Amino acid sequence: MASIRSFRTFLSVARHGSFAAAGKEIGLTAAAVGLQVRALEEELNQVLFDRGPRSVVLNTAGRKAVPQIEDLLARFEALANPESQDELSGRVVMGALVSTLMGAFADALWTLKQRYPALKVQLFAGLSSDFVHQVERGELDAAIVTQPPRALASSLVWTPLYNEPMVLVVPRRPHFDLPGKPLDALREAPFIRFDRHTWTGHLVDGVLAECGVSARDELELNSVEAIVEIVRQGFGISIVPQLANAHWENDEALRVIRLRGVSVERCVGLVERTRHSRMAFTAAIKEYFAGRPVRVRQG
């Protein structure tokens, strides 16, 4: 009969996409991980992964098994630790935009970790669009992402948590002629653009459209932190979400400008499956932000 250990091995392989990476996490060789997975598949009488030369990918049966096995493990952990049944404990695997760790989500995570010391949160950095697919496949319990530009699968739910204004950032010591008026600067100065294929990149396009200007693109990056650093060094200007804990207003190399008449904001929220084993944790995250105003821009 399948053991708790084989269930944990299955979930590790599902997260990492390879027997070798899963083995490093749980302290087994790749061969031993493969044997456990095959034994579990034989026990369940179904193949759970599509195997490739260097990786393994959950198939339909495997994706369906993830939330059920997560639920079994959560129930086992609660049974094995009765003193923790009224508290959040155990491991949660989440995706989070790096920029959210400089924003309000970092405060929420710190507060929960202080309140529930038995809680262990494993974070992975990446892009919102990738996180949504990973949550849907069960590779992540949940993820902190920007507001999806289109409807999600029926198995997923997205909850808005907080908003960040989109602002213009310019260097105090530019290596180029910087016009004094913000709209002139957007037209004439070298523009460091957030990757237009990302969800945040779509918001930047929205800001430029509301301003009625076309920027002179110099570089295109998918990191708020990298963009701001390039601006600080004087090589261009940019439009980025204003991060709660970045304290750019105190930066001697940077100016932050709120653009008049711009209504675009980045709404940051939590995406999760409609049913999963870590709903107590995601409920605590949502409760943390419940008293804060969340304004989701329509259209």
* Last residue within a domain, chosen from 45, 65, 85: 65
Give the range of the structural domain holding residue 171, as residue numbers without chain letter: 163-266
Rounded CA gap, 279 and 88, in Å? 10
* Confidence (pLDDT) at 80: 61
Predicted pLDDT of residue 299: 35
pLDDT value of position 120: 86
Is the pTM above the cut of 0.85?
A: no
Within-domain flag for 35:
yes
Per the domain annotation, does 50 fall within a domain? Answer: yes
Within-domain flag for 285: no
10-residue mean pLDDT profile of the chain (299 residues): values are 82 88 88 91 92 86 86 72 60 88 85 88 88 86 90 91 94 96 96 93 95 95 93 97 85 94 93 87 91 47
- Domain containing residue 228: CATH number: 3.40.190.10
For residues 129 and 54, give the distance between their C-alpha atoms in angstroms, rounded to a whole number: 24
Looking at the domain assignment, is residue 262 inside a domain?
Answer: yes
Q: DSSP state, 23?
A: H
Domain count, the chain: 2
Query: Is residue 195 situated within a structural domain?
Result: yes
pLDDT at 291: 67
pLDDT at 138: 80
Does residue 76 sit within a domain? no
* Cα–Cα distance, 125 to 196 (Å, whole number): 19
Helix (H, G, I), strand (E, B) or coil at 275: coil
User: Which pair of tokens denotes residue 248?
Assistant: 């750019």
On whether the CB atoms of residues 27 and 36 are closer than 8 A, the answer is no
254 vs 43: CA distance, rounded Å: 60
- Residue 174 inside a domain? The answer is yes
Q: What is the pLDDT of residue 85?
A: 46
CATH of the domain at 2: 1.10.10.10
Out of 12, 33, 65, pick the residue that ends a domain: 65
| 190 and 236 Cβ atoms separated by less than 8 Å | yes
- CA distance between the termini of the chain: 52
In a domain, 148, yes or no: no
Choose one of 15, 35, 65: the last residue of a domain: 65
